[in-house]
Structure 1
Amino acid sequence: MALDPTPHAASAPSDPGTSAREPLDRALLDRLRAKAAGGGAGTVTTTVPFTGEPLVELPLADAGDVAAAFERARRAQRAWARLAPRDRVAPFVRFHDLVLRRQHEILDIVQWETGKARKHAFEEVYDAAAGTLFSARRAPGLLARRRHPGALPLATRTYEFRRPKGVVSVITPWNYPLSLPVGDAVPALLAGNAVVAKPDTQTALATLWSIELLEEAGLPEGLWQVVLGEPAEIGGPLVEHADHIAFTGSTRSGAQVAREAAGRLKGVSLELGGKNPAVVRSDADLDWTVEGVLRGCFTNAGQLCISMERVYVHEGVYDAFVSRFVRAVESMRLGADLDFTADMGSLTYQRQLEAVERHVEDARAKGVRVLAGGRARPDLGPLFYEPTVLEGVTEEMAVCAEETFGPVVALYRVRDDDEAVEHANATGYGLNASVWTRDVPGGRRLAERLEAGTVNINDGYGAAFASYGAPMGGMKRSGLGRRHGAEGLLRYTEAQTIASQHYVPLSGPPGMRGDTYAAVLTAVQRLAKRLRIR
């Protein structure tokens, strides 16, 4: 898979020899393929985005295969749920170590499946390891019985017990095939559930590898099942048989999942699309900001729900920022090598390339100025597209409001913070945002005005996302519920209140008259208020 050795804007020659490696060990592929349930709907062959060549043939599930996977998961879950939370932790701590030890194996898998640069694949490795360890350390405390004030002081003893929901459907897309399935499945498993996962078929190997590794670390077999197939074929059964659905994907698909779950009174958590803004204030450190915005826009070729597609720059630094930013974009290195030399890799799907081209060409036809990029690079591979910077985007252009989900960013000049906030919030999305400033307290105040579930100051997305103790999710059309934080685990449980009565029944001592008992309770309530017991 030798790349064009001729230097070009947004490209550079490959390191010799690194791109000729064979795509994945066949014995590994056979083991992973065997972990996918089903085959009732035939098979499908995935391809390598770097080249378009076949990668692996995988079984597709039908509705019956999905039902069978849920039945196997339920059988395994019964014994798992009976374990104390602290006794479920060990496999996940070992999984953390195994992921780091065998990272080169999964880095290859992620690159061959997605086409992303290796340094962007490593972000997934870090997240899978660090996020899992954090959840494992916190789970026993979050799931512990919690005492609450009872109906009558001293006489009523009440506590909250967290019951696992049962079997959770985890439905994830292709752009982060290690990070997203692990990030949703691990808390569900720690909470005592089983999981039936439907990763995108193109990138299923990363999920299957995670299951193999977690079972090697000691997770009982059957607790994490995988089914592959088209949403039209198995989407309904994944909702029908589940006790909770965790979905990551487009807003349109998430709304459909929510409608189907609502009809069955089942809980959902949804992380959906974004049209994420960055605000560059007049006092921003431009060297730091250019590097950070570059990463925030073009990580994984922009195929990241929390990446930045709109940048609002204060007029006082706009020209200086644009000059430096465009130079940095033009110096980016595109590549398909299995090493850390490339700054950006390939898109994953032909349909994504077509969506990017459609947005850029529509904007061109309506007068946009292309400051950098703006074209596909078939000389590098079938799905490469240059990192693209647009200026002069207007409302009639599709790229203005629609999520591109590719390496395209629009720059806008603003007078002040108020104008930046107004434009940043003028969207139906509310997933992620960033603020760039030397004045961090001022940046925090501005961040609190932005309608986004996470806001990063002097970083594009990682500072908030990797703060695992804090919740992560979207406002408005960007989702429901949160991953990470306490809610990221507790969403997979049902809160059960258990109360015991002592000394005196709630109806009063035997033989006491009703008016007397009412007077006693009135006095008790007044005393409780005075003593701040209530």
Structure 2
Amino acid sequence: MTPLPPPRVTATPLLGGPLPAAALHALATRGSGPVSEVRSLLTGRPAATVPHSTPADVFAAIATATDAQRVWARRPERDRRAALARLDRWIARHRTYLGELLAHGSGLCGTDTADELRAAERALRPGRRSVPPRVRELPRTRGVPHARGVPLVRELPRRRPATTVATHTDDSRPLASLLEAAVPALLDGSAVLSHVSPRAAVLAARLCAAAVAAGLPAGIWRLVIAPPGSPTAAVLDEHAETVIPPCCPAPCPGARRPGLLVVRHDARLRTAVAQAGRACFSRAGQGCTAAPIVAVHDTHHATFQRRLANLAAHLPAGGAPGARSSALSSLPGSGPCADFARFARSIAHDARLHPVLTGGHRPDLAPYVHEPVVARTAPGPGPGPLPDPALLAAIPPGPLALVVRYTHWSDVLALAHHTGRHATLITNGRSAHLATQFAGLPADDIR
């Protein structure tokens, strides 16, 4: 008896959504694991059927990619660059279609979708250069910062041309993170195996299909579809020749280290408010570069807090997250939305917090949209103005700004013991000498 082939990723017509054409695309990605149903973050209705990859699928993908890499590496560099340039042009022609996929799959609003597409264009920029940029040799565990507000991307170590390179995508930046890791490896003549979550699988599969149509060999860019932290992803990392790890692995529940934004005494207030709004509220506070902890110097505290709350209260809803004018993205599902809504309601009853702007759940816009929340923290049990560290670890991802008032720079350094690896310093002076003072602290990406 002939065994049935493993199922393909399929995208169903989205009832009530603007994306029926997604059902017409043959997305050449198979998996032999369990099949999951992915719901649109824009409508809440079933949007795609996604088979998960298994360890056996990983071994098969590595074998296929290795064969394709032999062909790809023998091509002249100008041919590899030309193929990626054609992919770049395909993305430019299909911005509207990709924007719809980002809205349904990742819940990105119009503003965040535009940012994501610009980041994708930047990621493909090396393919337009006549001379490839030198890729610095780096330890596997370190990263190199890219544009402000963009997570660190581990660059490909230049020990020798790799056969297979494993990459991991970020669900809050599915298109840009996919390209940022894959493009340097493809230019180098390597094959790429991208680990994507089921939610990002349709977008990733469509992009890989477009890459083959642009001239990349079939099999040179493979997908491994599995939830973050799954055994399948671990098998991929173990057996690929080179691994480009995620910027910040997903934390365990209750152990989150949120990002930090610091407003210095010499900061320009208008700039500080605008940057804080993007760091706290864009992409619904998802992603490792989100900075829900905002430390503000006494000089600006009252005015900054008032202006930030006013900015948050007037972010345009635009009718739905996918609308071009919308600035409110969706949370990634019913569970995260319920967790954040519960936290927002608890602020009024938590002695550690004082509400400034308490937004609410907006199912009239989309099932998982929540308005921004602004609160200020009360001093914790320790000395000085620092909030309770247990509070910081328990903050759920979402469109949130917790304003911490500080007087002395040492307060900021003490706070940074409990925040993550990404920190932004808003100052009118040079920040390089300040960044060195974070040595030994979790923050190693100071911008």
- When normalised by structure 1's length, the TM-score is 0.68
Q: Does 1:366 align with 2:354?
A: no
Taking structure 1 as reference, are residues 104 and 292 closer, same or farther at Cα in structure 2, changes over 3 Å only?
same
Offset of residue 297 of structure 1: 1.0
CA contact (8 A) 1:274 1:306 kept: no
Instruction: Compare 349-358 and 122-131 and name the one that shifted more.
Output: 349-358
Which ranges of 4 or more aligned residues in structure 1 deviate by more than 6 Å? none
CA contact (8 A) 2:85 2:127 kept: no
The partner residue of 2:433 within 445, 449, 452 is 445
Aligned to 1:466: none
Amino acid across the alignment from 1:29: A
Larger Cα Rg: Structure 1 or Structure 2?
1
Aligned to 1:142: 134
Aligned to 2:263: 280
Aligned-residue CA RMSD (Å): 2.9
Offset of residue 117 of structure 1: 0.5
Taking structure 1 as reference, are residues 369 and 233 closer, same or farther at Cα in structure 2, changes over 3 Å only?
same
Aligned to 2:315: 332
CA contact (8 A) 2:109 2:329 kept: yes
Q: Is the partner of 1:251 in helix, strand or coil?
A: coil
CA contact (8 A) 1:172 1:249 kept: no
1:332-481 residue pairs with structure 2 within 5 A? Answer: 332-334=315-317, 335-360=319-344, 363-367=347-351, 368-393=353-378, 394=380, 395-396=387-388, 398-402=390-394, 404-423=396-415, 425-427=416-418, 429-430=420-421, 432-437=422-427, 439-441=428-430, 443-450=431-438, 451=441, 452-456=443-447
Offset of residue 61 of structure 1: 2.4
Show CA shifts across 1:459-488 (max 9, x none). xxxxxxxxxxxxxxxxxxxxxxxxxxxxxx
Structure 1, unpaired ranges of 5+: 1-18, 145-160, 255-271, 457-534
Structure 2, unpaired ranges of 5+: 1-13, 137-157, 381-386
Name the structure, 1 or 2, with higher relative contact order (CA <8 Å, separation 6+).
1
Q: Is the partner of 1:178 in helix, strand or coil?
A: helix
Amino acid across the alignment from 1:434: T
Q: Is the partner of 2:331 in helix, strand or coil?
A: coil
Show CA shifts across 1:332-372 (max 9, x none). 22342533211112112223223424544555443111111
Q: How many residues get paired?
A: 399
Taking structure 1 as reference, are residues 378 and 279 closer, same or farther at Cα in structure 2, changes over 3 Å only?
same
Instruction: Compare 206-215 and 357-366 and name the one that shifted more.
Output: 357-366
Amino acid across the alignment from 1:340: R
Aligned to 1:25: 20
Taking structure 1 as reference, are residues 215 and 440 closer, same or farther at Cα in structure 2, changes over 3 Å only?
farther
Aligned to 1:177: 174
Offset of residue 306 of structure 1: 0.7
Offset of residue 141 of structure 1: 4.9
Tell me, in whole angstroms, the C-alpha distance in 1 between the residues paired with 2:286 and 2:133. Answer: 35
Aligned to 2:292: 309
Tell me, in whole angstroms, the C-alpha distance in 1 between the residues paired with 2:394 and 2:243. Answer: 26
Aligned to 1:242: 240
Q: Is the partner of 2:174 in helix, strand or coil?
A: coil
Taking structure 1 as reference, are residues 30 and 167 closer, same or farther at Cα in structure 2, changes over 3 Å only?
farther
Show CA shifts across 1:407-462 (max 9, x none). 11210111133433332x222622x222223x332x34323434533333xxxxxx
CA contact (8 A) 1:290 1:324 kept: yes
Offset of residue 283 of structure 1: 2.6
Offset of residue 377 of structure 1: 2.5
CA contact (8 A) 1:182 1:210 kept: no
Aligned to 1:58: 50
Amino acid across the alignment from 1:381: A
Tell me, in whole angstroms, the C-alpha distance in 1 between the residues paired with 2:409 and 2:127. Answer: 37
Tell me, in whole angstroms, the C-alpha distance in 1 between the residues paired with 2:308 and 2:29. Answer: 44
Q: Is the partner of 1:35 in helix, strand or coil?
A: strand
* Identity between Structure 1 and Structure 2 (%): 25
